[in-house]
Amino acid sequence: MKSKNLIIFSLLVIVFIFLIVVLIGFFKNKKEQKIPSFIESPQQTTPTPIPAPVVIPTQEVSTLTPLNIPQSQETQVKSSNIYPPLFNKKFIYIDLDYPLLYVYDPQDEVIKYINLEDETYKEIVKIKNDEFKNAWMSEDKTKIVFLANNSLKFIDLKTDNIYKLNIFTKNFIFTPDLWLYINDDKYSYISKFEKGKLTKIRDLGILNPEFVNLKDLILIYEKNSPLFSLTINKPYLLKIFLEGQFFDVLTNKNKDLLFVTLKENEKFQSKVIDLKGNTKYSFLWQTHKEKCSFDDVLICAVPVNFNPDNLDLFLPVYDEKIIIFDVKNNEIKEINLKQKFNLIKPKLTPKGIIAFDKLTSQFYLFKLESQ
């Protein structure tokens, strides 16, 4: 009887110990399990749209100061200034397609266009003042790329979307699609940007390319290099377009003439040439393409001292004159400036030449003698 009880007791002890071991293992295993952590996904290589409304539907409001009327006391130019500003507000110049002048208004924090005929305006897109640095618009006026601090952003006005472009974007061109030149110090290539996605077009072994649109071709060059051409529909074919040391290139509205600043015999010159490189006219002065426009006629602001290294030096650049070259009639007119300016993108309009001055952030109207 005692032996039977002892056996039962021993079995109970064994079962009890087994249960204790199982429980200890269970709790130990549960304690050692790691708490799942959030996994940071890699940054997407293609930009994503910001789901915010872009275009602001507003009625045109006639609130602009009429052209060439006396300004208010607060904005009155000094009596020593010969040319009064066109408006009584400061803007940042984007584009001029007469009669529409596209600007960024830092006071209202908006990109708008101003109708120079009826003196009305219409807001296009709101951009905070601390974001906006500069902007460029496509020829069809449906796309805008703007510099926001140190990054580029793209506005598609057709779809009302804003996209942040790849951080390694060094340059771009409207073809009219948006093409980006991307250089991440390992790879340099051209990509097409569409609906927030990048599609690689081809590698490009040019470190600091400048782009010029020439109908079905894109001209590519570095400062003081030959002109290369890339066929838009066949982007795999890159070839030399014109030999030479081209510093700046600007095409006319018809895309059949080039205004170039180039180096010949170690000296910079300015010329109008055709697509075969034949010289139509040579100038004794030099300027930057940002200081010119080339529609039906060539308009350029000519600085006193041309500096090929940098257009935006700490020392201000002063312009000596504005030239108007009529290519068709081979005629040149000049406007000698009697006031200090640093003009960019002067354009001929029915009212005269309208240009933006970087020294004052103001627009000015220069009348021609015949007007």
* Angle in degrees, CA 83, 84, 86, rounded to 5: 115
- 225: buried, middle or exposed (CB in 10 Å: 19+, 13-18, 0-12)? middle
Cα–Cα distance for residue pair 136/165, rounded to 1 Å: 14
Residue holding tokens 């057709």? 158
255 Rama sector, left if φ>0, alpha if ψ -120 to 50, beta otherwise: left
Which pTM does this prediction carry? 0.77
pLDDT tens for the chain, residues 1 to 371: 445 555 565 666 565 665 555 455 544 443 333 222 222 222 333 333 333 334 333 333 333 333 332 232 233 333 346 888 999 999 999 999 999 999 999 999 999 999 999 999 999 999 999 899 999 999 999 999 999 988 999 999 999 999 999 999 999 999 999 999 999 989 999 999 999 999 999 999 898 999 999 989 999 999 999 999 999 998 878 999 999 999 999 999 999 999 999 999 889 999 999 999 999 999 999 999 999 999 999 999 999 988 877 655 456 679 999 999 999 999 999 999 999 999 999 999 999 999 999 999 999 999 887 55
C-alpha 12/C-alpha 271 separation (Å) is 107
Look at the block and give the residue holding tokens 């796309």. Answer: 143
Asked if 298 contacts 327 with a C-beta cutoff of 8 angstroms, the reply is: yes
Q: What are phi and psi of 344, to 5 degrees?
A: -130, 150
Q: Work out the number of other CB atoms within 10 angstroms of the CB of residue 110.
A: 20
Helix, strand, coil in percent for the chain, rounding step 5: 10, 45, 45
Which 3 state secondary structure label does DSSP give 36?
coil
Mapping DSSP to helix (H, G, I), strand (E, B) and coil, where does residue 314 land? coil
